[in-house]
Structure 1
Amino acid sequence: MNQEISDPAPRLEASPVRNFGLQLSSTPRGARLARLLATEQLRMWGVPAHPAELIVAELAANAVTHGRVSGRDFRLLLYVVGDTLRIEVTDTRGDRLPCPRHSADEAESESGRGLLLVDALADRWGVVPGPPPLKTVWAEVGAGPAGQRPVPPRQ
């Protein structure tokens, strides 16, 4: 006699939370290392590097350019939960919040347009004030295979 035995409660496999963090010097070299090391970590996880590497590059460059305090580092944190990659860059200038520049502002300044790129590439992004003197600028993108990014929720 053949019997089928079924498990009364199907097991759900939890997707692991993957994270990677490091502290880097607030210098152009530190910003470059942030991009290179983040790209390598994403490759090791099997997560598409585009557009995350561009977002890391912009946020790290902003931390070095606008969030730099002599003798203080910035921190890069990447983590994947489910199908979402979150990128966080924390610097020590909580008093200087990022402000994207729009086309009318272009004539006044060469800086600030990198956040327009982050806004265009990320599903969501924002700023979280930390305990003084910190602030964290974060962005989220789909971490699934290219072309299978989840649709971000409307805010």
Structure 2
Amino acid sequence: MSAPEAQVAVTVSVFVQRFSATRRGARLARRLAAHRLHLWGMPYGGPASDTVSLVVAELAANAVLHGRVPGRDFELRLSFDPAAGVVRVEVSDTHPGRPEPPGPAAPGRPLDAEGGRGLLLVAAVAARWGVGERLGPGKTVWAECEVPPAAADGGAGCPARSR
């Protein structure tokens, strides 16, 4: 009989914060996410920080613009698993409407319109994304960004998703 394999302890870092469903709340969510990533070893301005901050900014903006319910906040949850090399971003709001998957421009919508590309950006830079249930009313929109192991040690960071 062989000895059981030793299991390596895995530490998953988690940050959770509620924000007012306002433009200011969305901006603060992005800034605090960048700060938290920096504390986790992904320096400001590095590819990993920039990628995850972009995802947070887009999902928070969507929660404020499309998921806002008067008197209700939205929640940001970041999870960093250095062993898997993944940062998971979750933004929950109380609006029941689900986002449309990104696709070609809607008929009659100008190609140079200012809005409507947030989920296209998320799909382009995240390894995967989706929409799930949450406790209580509403939904959680999530995205996972792959982060090279060097990012956990303060390294160069994460390029856009591997294709």
Q: Would the TM-score normalized by the shorter structure come out above 0.5?
A: yes
Q: Aligned residue for 1:89?
A: 91
**Deviation string, structure 1 residues 67-115 (Cα, Å, up to 9, x no partner):** 0011000000000122111000000112x11114433327427543110
Separation of aligned partners in 2, 1:75 and 1:85: 16
Q: Please give the residue correspondences for 1:59-98 in structure 2 after superposition, counting only pairs within 5 Å.
A: 59-81=59-81, 82=83, 83-94=85-96, 96-98=97-99
**Greater RCO (Cα-Cα under 8 Å, separation 6 or more):** 2
User: 2:146–2:158: 8 Å Cα contact kept in structure 1?
Assistant: no
| Cross-structure match for 2:144 | 140
Residue 5 of structure 1 corresponds to none
1:102 corresponding residue in structure 2: 103
- Structure number with greater Rg is 1
CA RMSD of aligned residues (A): 2.5
Instruction: Report the TM-score when normalising by structure 1.
Output: 0.81
Task: Please give the alpha-carbon distance, in whole angstroms, between the structure 1 residues aligned to 2:134 and 2:60.
Answer: 17
Shift of 1:9: 6.9
Deviation at 1:127, TM superposition (A): 0.1
CA displacement at 1:124 relative to structure 2: 0.3
Q: Give the match for residue 57 of structure 1.
A: 57
Q: Secondary structure at the match of 1:105?
A: coil
Where structure 2 has 5 or more consecutive residues not aligned to the other structure, the ranges are 43-47, 152-156
- Paired positions, count: 144
Q: Letter of the 1:92 partner, please give it.
A: T
Query: Could you tell me how far apart the structure 1 residues matched to 2:98 and 2:25 are?
Result: 21
Q: Using structure 2 for the length normalisation, give the TM-score.
A: 0.78
Q: Which amino acid aligns with 1:68?
A: R
